[in-house]
Amino acid sequence: MPRANDPSSKLFYKGRSDDFIVFVDDLDTLNKWRRDRTIPLANVVNGWKIFTTHRHGAQGVLDGASRASLENEFGTYNEDVCMEKILERGEYQLSAQREHQAERNVANEGPSILR
């Protein structure tokens, strides 16, 4: 997975019953795989996990897709088959997350008397 402010490449698949997301390395590798299926899927995807957003689009909260949601949408819960269908028909999206802004560890910044 990319760092918080690094761009992330993903495929968004809008299904009949749910929305699915798979992270990929880049668009070039995906297009090569679409033309040449001898390329291993492990070289295309970035982490072997199918996510669902529970019908909240491409920006929803990501949860791991359950076997039941895969079975309802694709007719099988075999992740290899489902992954291929998402890679074939999904919409490629590149997005960059905002850099996380947070305070430093406040526990280490107390008065010098406590140290």
Model pLDDT for residues 60-94, shown as the tens digit of each residue = 788 999 999 999 999 999 999 999 999 999 999 88
Q: How far apart are CA 90 and CA 39, in angstroms?
A: 18
- For domain 9-93, the question of CATH label 3.30.1250.10 is answered with yes
Q: Residue 2 has what pLDDT?
A: 47
Question: What's this model's pTM, rounded to 2 decimal places?
Answer: 0.74
Domain residue ranges in the chain = 9-93
Cα dihedral 72, 73, 76, 80 sign: negative
Q: How far apart are CA 111 and CA 101, in angstroms?
A: 24
Cα dihedral 35, 36, 37, 39 sign: negative
Please report, to the nearest 10 degrees, the dihedral formed by the alpha carbons of residues 40, 42, 48, 54 taken in order: -60
24: pLDDT strictly greater than 80: yes
